[in-house]
Amino acid sequence: MNKTALITGSSRGIGRATALKLAEEGYNICINYIERGDLADELAAELKSRGHEAIAFQADVADRNQVDAMVSEVTGRFGKVDLLVNNAGVAGQALFQDVTDEMWDRYFSVNLNGARNTIQAVLPGMLHSKSGVIVNVSSIWGLHGASCEVTYSCTKHALIGLTRSLAMELAPSNIRVNCVAPGVINTDMVQVLGKEVLDELADQTPLGRLGTPEDIAEAICFLASDKASFITGQVLVSDGGFVG
């Protein structure tokens, strides 16, 4: 029986690339989205055309009730979730004195509370079977910080703390928890910076280019695989050498 992967924020970008890669490796795929239902349905149809099992489900990960409904649907269709990839996130730049309560709360609600909600929803099944893998997607800014990205950096730093602590808690149940920290990845999220800034960022990257969603998908899939069976509580940085 195939394993099942739930990837949050997977209608596009890193999440989409991860869904495609995991499907190739034999996983049933749950595509989670909040707005781009057209892209999620398109991805599900593409996976099905290749002979894979896939469903798309709309849920705001910041809303526990929506997450619980999504996980209930997935487990009803495929059984327990074997792999959870917490990829959904929001980002943006602002001077710290201009950060509003709404911005602060929304970033934490999605980037951190969203991971908490999904983990708590899938954990009973993992604990029952004493198996499972959780991969959280943080950022190099969660390790090193960034000017004008205080809110985002705080959420991603907290996600690393969640990863390391939860890994220790769940290790006796044979559940691994790891984290990927991407550098500057060429997705819709960074396209708003404009070509000039992106060219500068590519120049600042020792490997001489921006990362691709596929680069991060490979890192996620490695941590999810049996090749990483003795790895837990770790942060895998994939940034082309950007922060050294």
Taking the C-alpha atoms of residue 32 and residue 85, their distance in angstroms, rounded to an integer, is 10
209's enclosing H/E stretch is: none
Question: Percent of the chain, pLDDT > 90?
Answer: 87
Second CATH level (architecture) for the domain 4-183+215-237: 3-Layer(aba) Sandwich (3.40)
Query: DSSP assignment of 168-184, as one string?
Result: HHHGGGTEEEEEEEE-S
CB 213, CB 164: distance < 8 Å? no
The answer on pLDDT for 189 being more than 90 is no
DSSP 79: S
Return the exposure string of 9-32: e unless at least 16 CB atoms fall within 10 Å of the residue's CB, then b.
Answer: bbbbbbbbbbbbbbbeeebbbbbb
Write down the pLDDT at residue 73. Answer: 96
Taking the C-alpha atoms of residue 102 and residue 42, their distance in angstroms, rounded to an integer, is 32
User: In the chain, what are the domain boundaries?
Assistant: 4-183+215-237
Taking the C-alpha atoms of residue 198 and residue 240, their distance in angstroms, rounded to an integer, is 14
pLDDT tens profile 213-240: 999 999 999 999 999 999 999 999 999 9
Query: Which residues are within 8 A (CB) of 234 and not within 5 positions of it... i.e. 6 or more apart?
Result: 167, 178, 179, 223
Taking the C-alpha atoms of residue 49 and residue 228, their distance in angstroms, rounded to an integer, is 30
CB 176, CB 219: distance < 8 Å? no
pLDDT tens profile 131-145: 999 999 999 999 988
- Selected catalytic residue, list 27, 33, 107, 152: 152
152 is catalytic: yes
The pTM score is: 0.96
Q: Which two tokens stand for residue 45?
A: 């149809």
CB 156, CB 211: distance < 8 Å? no
Write down the pLDDT at residue 34. Answer: 96
pLDDT tens profile 119-178: 999 999 999 999 999 999 999 999 988 899 999 999 999 999 999 999 999 999 999 999
